[in-house]
Amino acid sequence: MRSAPRTSIQDDLNLLAVIREVYSRLPETYYLQPWELQHILFSLRYTDDLADEAEIDAAINIARTDWAPDEGAA
């Protein structure tokens, strides 16, 4: 199994990119809550530490509009 790239979350843009990548690689993560995705990102070594849930939530809202534009408009 190929390991996930090690990405350090330094700003919201990196977090958004990481969440988009996780959604494309693991579509089953799409409906996870921010606290669940927080642990997934850390466990898969996308982050060096647990990212802030509020930042994850904001990035999730943006990333989900990529997958379902009508959902983000609601």
43 Cβ contact list (under 8 Å, min separation 6): none
Contact at 8 Å (CB) between 50 and 39?
yes
pLDDT tens per residue across all 74 residues of the chain: 555 555 444 445 589 999 999 999 999 999 999 999 999 999 998 888 888 999 999 999 999 887 666 654 54
Q: Where are the domains of the chain?
A: 12-67
The helix/strand/coil state of 62 is: helix
Amino acid at 30: Y
* Helix, strand, coil percent content, the chain, rounded in steps of 5: 65, 0, 35
Specify the pLDDT at position 14. Answer: 87
